[in-house]
């Protein structure tokens, strides 16, 4: 094979990896949208918050240290060496469940039967609140996330592919980040387990039932409130996974919450109501933007990855507004 | 005070009683001072012209509406204000006039969801799908298959119900209500919009359910022939008031009822 072709393959492979990272965020949106019809603008901030909390537990930070120090003149910083990663993840999940519970109690309960736009605005408010709350609780400095996942180039792939190029060419093999491979594995496991859970368990069936028809769900004895708490908890769990992966890749900092915006074109492509759609949409965006940058980016000054996804989404909106896998929008007259 | 009917069915004591129910939406009174009872094991019909308050009555019983005045007594206990899902967990299942199924889910899943009040395995066991959760799924699956058999809908077990014709959807909805194994089954116009053959099928199912499972049934129906054939007792509503209450024969000969149905002067 010629080195050029191998380069393209490498670009595609890296695109797929990036796409899976987008899918991870998009997945959280789809879960909540399906169950409650709410577009959760706060999904990205939830990922940031989960990552902050996880790092906080891991490093033994005292929550609200800044606030306490300012109020009482103390010099609190850490309470100890921190928790082992596994325990920290469990505790963070506990925090996300608590968050889901409080959200239902304090906010969603009062928003029943409101128009979708009101609910959307609510989640915008929620996003800003959580962003500030996260800062207040754990501080605003950039943190590194280390959950023991390996990173750096995959030497295995490099050595395997090095021999693929023709003799004499200076090809050294493909580069792919091991962390990305891990993220891909985690995402696949996550999607499969979520799908199995929703297909074959009582609660999964209840989740689908609520997504399908609220009135009918009430009639068979499903409590909408319980379901909402469960859905937001699962979304919190997906946010935690996304937060870990993105945090490990690029550090835990405010910009993490902006990846939520990248999920938007993914959703427009895949459809807001489809879990496979979120995955495929993410892959298309990931591969698309990398290929575009590789082939055309150079001609027009580069940095196309910042906008390519949105332009692609715009084209999709024109021709297939429901997305690739979304429910067909049929207006009856 | 157990009394037997001619076919040997057992009609027991009072299962549900509504007392002096008054329900209004703003200034519009939907129900005024309605009282009646439903006895265990009977088929009770609620009839009346359009807008008489039949569906409102059913919605009060199933917890979708909360009356301003009056009480609902179920199995000898007064009920506080309840949400629909709590009513369902108490053992009252229902169907809707305009069908409320999970349209994207298969017939089988719809019926399995109907059994949700009977399932107890906690989230942990469900998540790993072993132990109690697995046993429970299998046991409930058996019951559901029995109901599918009973209603003769084997052929559409895996079909998403949104794709089924209207008559079959009605049947699946009945199946889902049956799956709950409720003490009391509320059917809101189970035969509306059906052709003659479908109506006959549905009649047979209702009688069989009552007979085979001993389920108490309260139904709203417009087809007078059906009502007279099926029901043990009939309550007649008109303009939110109770007009008559008694056996089909008594109700049929009631002058007030005749007037309401044949369009006497309502001033």
pLDDT at B267: 40
Nearest Cα of chain B lies from the Cα of A25 at a distance, in angstroms, of 22
- State whether residue A168 is helix, strand or coil: coil
Domain-located, residue A327 = no
Q: Look up tokens 């509320």; give the residue.
A: B186
> Which one of B128, B150, B181 terminates a domain?
B181
Pick among B64, B66, B85, B89 to test the A interface (most A CBs inside 10 A): B85
A326 falls within a domain: no
Residue A332 lies inside a defined structural domain of this protein: no
Question: Residue B33 burial by CB count (10 A; 0-12/13-18/19+): exposed, middle or buried?
Answer: middle
- Which span out of A70-79, A176-185, A282-291 was modeled with the highest average pLDDT? A282-291
Instruction: Identify whether residues B18 and B6 lie together within a single domain.
Output: yes
- Would you state the pLDDT for residue A332? 53
Residue A205, domain member (yes or no): yes
* Nearest CA among B65, B38, B71 for reference residue B53: B65
Which of B105, B114, B129 is facing A201, going by the closest CB pair? B129
Structural domain containing residue B108: 101-181
What chain B residue is nearest to A205 in terms of C-alpha separation? B113
Is the model's pLDDT at B266 over the cut of 70?
no
Pairwise CA distance, residues A92 & A51, whole Å = 9
How many domains, in total, are found in chain A?
Answer: 1
Cα(A108)–Cα(A128) distance, integer angstroms: 16
3-state SS, residue A78? strand
Per the listing, tokens 């790092």 go with A55
In this model, does residue B4 exceed pLDDT 60? no
> Which of the pair, B131 or A227, is modelled with greater confidence?
A227
Confidence of residue B263 (pLDDT cuts 50, 70, 90): low
- Within a domain: residue B213? yes
- Comparing CA positions, the residue from A1, A25, A8, A13 lying closest to residue A259 is A25
A202 within some domain? yes
C-alpha–C-alpha distance, residues A264 and A39, integer Å: 10
pLDDT value of position B104: 87
CB contact under 8 A, A208 and B102: yes
The per-residue pLDDT for A330 is 59
d(Cα A272, Cα A120) in Å, to the nearest integer? 14
Question: Could you say which DSSP state residue A38 is in?
Answer: -
Query: What confidence tier does B7 reach under pLDDT thresholds 50, 70, 90?
Result: low
Q: Kindly state whether A220 is in contact with chain B, defined as any CB-CB distance less than 8 angstroms.
A: yes
Q: Which residues of B touch A219 (CB under 8 A)?
A: 62, 84, 88, 93-94, 96, 100
**Shortest Cα–Cα distance, B108 to chain A (Å):** 11
Q: How far is B204 from chain A (nearest CA, A)?
A: 24
Asked if residue B140 belongs to a domain, the reply is: yes
Mutation choice for A interface testing from B89, B91, B99, B100 by most A CBs within 10 A: B100
For the residues A34-45, what does the mean pLDDT come to? 85
Q: What is the pLDDT of residue A328?
A: 65
Structure tokens at A260: 């939520």
Residue B3 has pLDDT above 80, yes or no: no
Give the minimum alpha-carbon distance from B218 to chain A in angstroms, rounded to a whole number.
16
Q: Which residue of B has its CA nearest to A209?
A: B102
Question: Is A86 part of any domain?
Answer: yes
Report how many domains make up chain B: 2
Beta pairing class for B3-4 and B10-11: antiparallel
Whether A114 and chain B come into contact, CB under 8 Å, resolves to: no
3 state DSSP class of A147: coil
What does the pLDDT look like over B36-95, one tens digit per residue?
Answer: 999 999 999 999 888 889 999 999 999 999 999 999 999 988 998 889 999 999 999 999
Residue A305, pLDDT above cutoff 70: yes
Nearest Cβ partner for B109 among A205, A213, A218: A205
Q: Name the residue facing B129 among A200, A221, A224 (closest C-beta).
A: A200
Residue to mutate among A90, A189, A190, A221, with most B CBs inside 10 A, is: A221
pLDDT greater than 90 at residue A94: yes
Which pLDDT band, with edges at 50, 70 and 90, does B15 fall under?
Answer: very high
Instruction: Kindly state the percentage of chain B with pLDDT values over 70.
Output: 94
pLDDT for position B2 = 44
B26 and B145 in a single domain? The answer is no
- Number of other residues whose CB lies within 10 A of the CB of residue A278: 30
pLDDT score recorded for residue B213? 85
Identify all chain A residues contacting B117, using CB atoms and an 8 Å cutoff: 220-221
Instruction: Answer yes or no: do A216 and B102 touch at CB < 8 A.
Output: yes
- Report chain A's mean pLDDT, rounded to a whole number: 86
Mean pLDDT value across residues B179-201: 90
Which of residues B181, B212, B247 is at a domain's end? B181
Residues of B in contact with A233 (CB under 8 A): none
Taking residues B130-147, what's their average pLDDT? Answer: 87
Report which of B54, B61, B88, B64 is spatially closest to residue B176, judged by C-alpha positions.
B88
Packed helices A275-295 and A308-319: angle between N→C axes, nearest 10 degrees: 130
Residue A288 reports pLDDT greater than 90: yes
The answer to whether B119 contacts A204, with C-beta atoms less than 8 Å apart, is no
Q: Does A223 touch chain B (CB under 8 A)?
A: yes
- B96 inside domain: no
Q: How far apart, in Å, are the Cα atoms of B111 and each of A202, A252, B265?
A: 12, 46, 46
In order, the DSSP letters of chain B are: --EE-TT--EE-SEEEEEEEEEEEETTEEEEEEEEEEEETT-EEEEE-STTSSHHHHHHHHTTSS--SEEEEEETTEE--S--HHHHHHHTEEE--TT----TTSBHHHHHHHHTGGG----HHHHHHT-THHHHHHHHHHHHHHHHHHHHT-GGGTTSBGGGS-HHHHHHHHHHHHHHTT-SEEEEESTTTT--HHHHHHHHHHHHHHHHHH--EEEEE-S-HHHHHHH-SEEEEEETTEEEEEE-HHHHHT-HHHHHHHHT----
Nearest chain A residue to B115, by CA: A220
User: B interface mutation test: which of A206, A214, A216 has the most B CBs within 10 A?
Assistant: A216
Average pLDDT across chain B, whole number: 87
pLDDT, position A333: 54
Whether residues A220 and B114 touch (CB distance < 8 A) is answered with yes
Where does a domain end: B181, B211, B245?
A: B181
Residue A329 included in any domain: no
Tell me how far apart the terminal alpha carbons of chain B are, to the nearest angstrom: 42
**Domain residues for A63?**
3-319
DSSP designation for A108: G
How many residue pairs from chains A and B have C-beta atoms closer than 8 A? 87
- pLDDT 10s digits, B32-41: 999 999 999 9
Shared domain for B134 and B217, answered yes or no, is no
pLDDT at B203: 92
| B262 pLDDT higher than 70 | no
Query: What's B77's domain CATH number?
Result: 3.40.50.300
Q: How far apart are the first and last CA of chain A?
A: 57
When computed from its CA atoms, the radius of gyration of chain A, rounded to whole angstroms, is: 22
Provide the ipTM. 0.82
Which pLDDT band, with edges at 50, 70 and 90, does A293 fall under?
very high
- In chain A, % of residues over pLDDT 70: 97
Dmax (CA) of chain A = 72
Token output for A261: 């915006």
Do the beta carbons of residue A47 and residue A252 sit within 8 Å? Answer: no
Looking at residues A134-163, what average pLDDT do you find? Answer: 83
Q: Note whether B116 and B168 are same-domain residues.
A: yes
A113 touches chain B (CB under 8 A): no
Does A169 or B4 have the greater pLDDT score?
A169
Q: Are residues B87 and B191 in the same domain?
A: yes
- How many angstroms separate the CA atoms of B257 and B92, rounded? 29
Are B102 and A212 in contact (CB < 8 Å)? Answer: yes
Band (pLDDT 50/70/90 cuts) for residue A331 is low
Q: Which whole number is the average pLDDT over A296-305?
A: 87
Q: Which residues of B51-85 are buried (b: 16+ CB within 10 A; e: fewer)?
A: ebbbbbbbbbbbbbbebeebebebeeeebeebebb
Q: Which residues of A touch B127 (CB under 8 A)?
A: 197, 201
Question: At residue B265, does pLDDT exceed 60?
Answer: no
Phi, psi of B189 (to 5 degrees): 50, 65
Phi, psi dihedrals of residue A206, rounded to the nearest 5°: -65, -40
| DSSP letter, residue A328 | P
């Amino acid at each position: 094979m010629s080195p050029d072709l191998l380069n393209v393959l490498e670009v595609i492979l890296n695109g797929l990896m990036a796409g899976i990272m987008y899918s991870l965020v998009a997945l959280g949106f789809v879960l909540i949208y399906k169950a409650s019809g709410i577009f959760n603008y706060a999904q990205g901030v939830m990922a940031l918050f989960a990552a902050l909390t996880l790092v906080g537990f891991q490093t033994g930070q005292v929550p609200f240290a800044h606030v306490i120090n300012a109020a009482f003149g103390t010099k609190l910083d850490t309470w100890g060496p921190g928790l082992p990663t596994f325990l920290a993840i469990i505790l963070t999940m506990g925090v996300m469940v608590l968050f889901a519970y409080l959200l239902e109690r304090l906010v969603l309960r009062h928003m029943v039967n409101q128009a979708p736009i009101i609910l959307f605005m609510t989640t915008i408010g929620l996003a800003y609140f959580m962003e500030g709350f996260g800062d207040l609780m754990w501080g605003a400095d950039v943190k590194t996330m280390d959950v023991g996942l390996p990173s750096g180039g995959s030497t295995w792939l490099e050595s395997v592919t090095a021999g693929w190029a023709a003799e004499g060419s200076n090809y050294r093999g493909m580069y792919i980040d091991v962390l990305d491979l891990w993220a891909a594995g985690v995402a696949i496991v996550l999607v499969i387990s979520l799908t199995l859970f929703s297909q074959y368990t009582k609660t999964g069936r209840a989740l689908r039932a609520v997504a399908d028809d609220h009135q009918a769900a009430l009639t068979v004895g499903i409590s909408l409130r319980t379901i909402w708490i469960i859905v937001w908890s699962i979304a919190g769990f997906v946010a935690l996974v996304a937060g870990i992966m993105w945090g490990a890749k690029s550090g835990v900092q405010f910009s993490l919450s902006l990846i939520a915006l990248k999920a938007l074109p993914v959703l427009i492509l895949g459809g807001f109501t489809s879990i496979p759609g979120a995955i495929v949409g993410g892959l298309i965006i990931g591969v698309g933007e990398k290929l575009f940058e590789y082939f055309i980016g150079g001609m027009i000054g580069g940095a196309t990855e910042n906008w390519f996804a949105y332009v692609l989404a715009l084209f999709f909106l024109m021709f297939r507004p429901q997305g690739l896998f979304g429910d067909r929008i049929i207006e009856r007259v | 005070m157990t009394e037997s009917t001619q076919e040997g069915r057992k009609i027991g004591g009072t299962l549900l009683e509504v007392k002096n129910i008054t329900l209004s939406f703003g200034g519009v009174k939907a129900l005024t001072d309605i009282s009646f009872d439903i006895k265990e094991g009977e088929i009770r019909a609620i009839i009346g012209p359009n807008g008489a308050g039949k569906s409102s009555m059913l919605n009060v019983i199933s917890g979708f509406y909360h009356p301003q005045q009056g009480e609902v007594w179920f199995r000898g206990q007064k009920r506080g204000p309840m949400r629909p899902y709590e009513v369902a967990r108490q053992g009252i299942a229902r169907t809707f006039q305009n069908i409320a199924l999970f349209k994207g889910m298969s017939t089988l899943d719809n019926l399995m969801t109907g059994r949700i009040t009977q399932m107890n395995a906690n989230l942990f066991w469900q998540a790993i799908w072993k132990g109690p959760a697995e046993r429970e799924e299998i046991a409930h699956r058996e019951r559901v298959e029995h109901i599918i058999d009973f209603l003769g809908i084997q052929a559409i077990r895996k079909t998403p119900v949104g794709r089924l014709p209207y008559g079959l959807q009605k049947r699946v909805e009945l199946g889902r209500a049956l799956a709950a194994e409720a003490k009391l089954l509320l059917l809101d116009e189970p035969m509306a919009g059906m052709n003659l053959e479908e109506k006959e099928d549905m009649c047979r199912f209702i009688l069989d359910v009552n007979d085979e499972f001993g389920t108490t049934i309260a139904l709203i129906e417009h087809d007078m022939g059906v009502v007279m054939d099926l029901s043990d007792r009939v309550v007649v509503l008109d303009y939110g008031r109770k007009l008559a209450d008694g056996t089909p024969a008594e109700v049929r000969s009631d002058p007030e009822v005749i007037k309401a149905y044949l369009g006497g002067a309502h001033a």
